[in-house]
Amino acid sequence: MFGNWLKTAILMAGILALFAAVGGAIGGAQGMLIAFLLGAGMNFFAYWFSDKMVLRMYNAQEVDEASSPYLYNMVKELAQRAQIPMPRVYLIDEAQPNAFATGRNPDHAAVAATTGILRMLSARELRGVMAHELSHVKHRDILISTISATIAGAISSLAQFGMLFGGSRDGERANPIVSIVVMILAPIAAMLIQMAISRAREFEADRGGAEISGDPHALADALAKIDAYARGIPMHTAEAHPETAQMMIMNPLSGGGIRGLFSTHPATEERIGRLRAMA
């Protein structure tokens, strides 16, 4: 748990430094100050509200025992096995089979599944997937995951930051090449932060999910099936907001062009192999 808090603190400090550096390169001392304040405000917003923003982005609808007893009761049983508070449960009306967890801690967590994953997986396989997501909740991965998704999207807006200063730097004309390079490097830096966070985390969530469900083969079978079908079914919200891809149990992106840089998940074959070895 302490490790994830430390990672979150480092991430948020890194965001402040990145905002300040970009602001300074584009707008000088004034730009650095404004960008630093913008970064501080973004950190505050991300900590308290990023989960709500991501759920709203995917038009996720909260369900309960009355509206979706199958999914709700499955999550309830697994949460009891994991010894964590019952998270809020959401459905996303998307054909692609996928799922994610979000929130700032186990007491304020949510899990979301697409309608496609409910249709495609057996009860045993879906149980493995939801156990994987609850493992993220239990190990407090969700805060750093959601914050990185929110802030990575915001960092891309730094590309327009120079407009506030008309390309000037302390009264002198800024080097346009430097400004362009900084504008390109800022979102790439955000991608690298996400990739560094996500890969090892997915292996750990697979292991934790297998332990919670008590059935490593179920999650392995689910990953194989999701991987086979998700490639051919686009998820338009994820394509429009690729910074959220690292939250999903399986990479939802088509992978073409710059979106390939957001491919934060380990190879599915390696994930399946590790789960089979557990069993």
Active site residues: 133
Residues 135-170 as b/e (b if ≥16 CB within 10 A, e otherwise) read bbbbbbbbbbbbbbbbbbbbbbebbebbeebeebbe
Tell me how far apart the alpha carbons of residues 80 and 91 are, in angstroms, rounded to a whole number.
21
- DSSP-assigned letters across all residues of the chain: -HHHHHHHHHHHHHHHHHHHHHHHHHHHHHHHHHHHHHHHHHHHHHHHHHHHHHHHHTT-EEE-TTT-HHHHHHHHHHHHHHT-PPPEEEEE--SS--EEEEEEETTEEEEEEEHHHHHHS-HHHHHHHHHHHHHHHHTT-HHHHHHHHHHHHHHGGGGGGGGGTTTEETTEE--HHHHHHHHHHHHHHHHHHHHHHHHHHHHHHHHHHHHHHT-HHHHHHHHHHHHHHHTTS--HHHHH-GGGGGGBSS--S---GGGGGG--SPPHHHHHHHHHHH-
